[in-house]
Amino acid sequence: PGFTTAVLQYDRRIRLNSMLIDSSNVLKRPDLHRMMEMAAQKLRLMGGTVELVDIGEQELPDGQTLALPKVVTAQFGNDPNKHTVCVYGHVDVQPAKLEDGWATDPYNLTDINGNLYGRGASDNKAPVLAWIHAVEAYQALNMELPVNVKFVIEGMEETGSNGLDAMILAQRDTFFSDVDYIIISDCGWLSRRPALTYGTRGNCYFYAEVEGPKQDLHSGVYGGTVIEPMTDLVGILGECIFSGKILIPGIREAVAPLSDEEWRMYQDIQFDIDNYKNKIGVNELMYSNKVDLLAHMWRYPTVSIHGIEGAFSDPGTKTVIPAKVTAKFSIRQVPNMDPAMVKKQVTDYLHSVFAKRKSPNKLKVTMVIGAKPWLADTQHPLYDAGKAAVKRVFDMDPDLIREGGTIPIARTFQDVTGKSIIMMPIGGFDDGLHSQNEKMSRYNYIEGTKLFVAYLNEVSQIKHTSV
């Protein structure tokens, strides 16, 4: 009871860190190292036991190696009579450029009408800071933490968490040995109603490269005599999906059927279709009813073609026959798909439709990411504690939702540590992750901090036997 009021007093102290580092840009790597050092220093100053864990190097496509940003681990409290939670977060961000269509400088946090705009504001800076503030809140009020709190903070999430899997495996019997529960807040609500997340889709990301002439050719001079790689590539991509139906054999067959229970659960979830349409600016979605939409967002696979490397992509005209073109596309993974099987299905299918073209060009299909989906048991005490904390702070029940995106680390934590995981989002449904004008509202930031404070208290009351 006392702490909710107390946390309110703490409100005005919280602030967002404006140092936003795009982890995909290798030129910014020194800044990323500084960012990790800043995060470590912050946790040290709060009295945590902090380590900057070296996770080795990254190999670049040109063969050069580059040091990965260290992973920050921290520990607050080590009372063996208390539960120990481990909070995971990341401090790197997606790329962003003002000219992509941002209304404000994406790298300069800007407060407009209670919304804090900036790249990474919601993904994942504010949630990480809210967890830090939750610990600070107990400290500021001279209250003992009800559970031991550990942090794992990385700087490569946006480019595939390179090195983190190995680090978790290496520290399974040390840093992670006394962890009871893992908490991830790298996601968002579905509506204005708070939510707990119990599943994510995985992702198989493919490169399909078609190579023909040894160099780009003038389309006037050579057009008509060579079989163009771009024509081949567009042709085979066009056979992968039609109006949302995946045409690659075996993909749809592997998907777990929608149960009646799920159907009923989806029916009860608060989801405003018109609002969703307005937000993304379309008149018509792939499906017109709520259950189909939620199911295809969360528990069915989808194919997205992201773009083509090697072709002409600038404004204006160029009369070129590109010599080597590489399509980037991905298939979101759901139970019971298996990335190794999907790799084979996609590779075999693309080669078979390519073979029908009888092209002398060379096709190479590579799966560069193969991340499994993750699914939790919503009946677990960890989720009961989450429901109670939401009730306490927001005075309502949370929606139980899944996430269409991929948080591969959830699956790794589950597979390596065997511990239970909960995803507890505080980001708004309209925060624009990975998109232009990403933001975090002050409301979600502050109430989210309170939620975390309350949650630590609820988790402390889970009976040890039920772990």
Q: Is 51 helix (H, G, I), strand (E, B) or coil?
A: strand
CA 47 to CA 151: how far, in whole Å? 13
- For the bound state, the minimum distance from the C-beta of residue 233 to a second copy, rounded and expressed in Å, comes to 9
Q: Any contact of residue 238 with a second copy (CB under 8 A)?
A: yes
Beta-bridge partner residues of 308: 327
- For the bound state, the minimum distance from the C-beta of residue 169 to a second copy, rounded and expressed in Å, comes to 23
| DSSP E strand stretches across 46-113 | 49-53, 57-59, 65-67, 71-76, 84-90, 92-93, 110-112
Total site size for a second copy, rule CB under 8 A: 94
Beta-bridge partner residues of 188: 427
Interstrand relation of 84-90 and 181-184 (parallel, antiparallel or unpaired) = parallel
Instruction: Select from 403, 411, 413, 423 the one that contacts a second copy (CB under 8 A).
Output: 403
Q: Any contact of residue 191 with a second copy (CB under 8 A)?
A: no
Total H helices, total E strands in the chain:
13, 24
Interacting residues with a second copy between 21 and 80 (CB under 8 A):
24, 61
Q: Any contact of residue 304 with a second copy (CB under 8 A)?
A: yes
Q: Any contact of residue 127 with a second copy (CB under 8 A)?
A: no
Q: Any contact of residue 239 with a second copy (CB under 8 A)?
A: yes
C-alpha dihedral (135, 68, 332, 424), degrees to nearest 10: 0
* CA of residue 422 relative to chain centroid, distance: 14
What number of residues does the chain have? 467
The residue among 219 and 378 lying less far from a second copy, judged by its C-beta, is 219
Q: Any contact of residue 159 with a second copy (CB under 8 A)?
A: yes
Q: Which stretch binds a second copy (CB under 8 A): 44-52, 94-102, 114-122, 130-138?
A: 94-102
Look-up of token digits 């990341």: 90
Instruction: Select from 1, 220, 257, 418 the one that contacts a second copy (CB under 8 A).
Output: 220
**Helix (H), strand (E), coil (C) string for 440-455:** EEHHHHHHHHHHHHHH
Binding to a second copy by CB under 8 A, coded x per residue (else -) over 421-440, reads: -----------xxxxxx---
Q: Which stretch binds a second copy (CB under 8 A): 3-11, 174-182, 242-250, 385-393?
A: 242-250
Q: Any contact of residue 173 with a second copy (CB under 8 A)?
A: no
For the record, the structure tokens of 400 come out as 């139980």
The residue among 13 and 362 lying less far from a second copy, judged by its C-beta, is 362
Residue type, 4: T
The residue among 77 and 212 lying less far from a second copy, judged by its C-beta, is 212
- For the bound state, the minimum distance from the C-beta of residue 389 to a second copy, rounded and expressed in Å, comes to 24
Q: Which residues are catalytic?
A: 92, 157
Instruction: Select from 359, 441, 444, 449 the one that contacts a second copy (CB under 8 A).
Output: 359
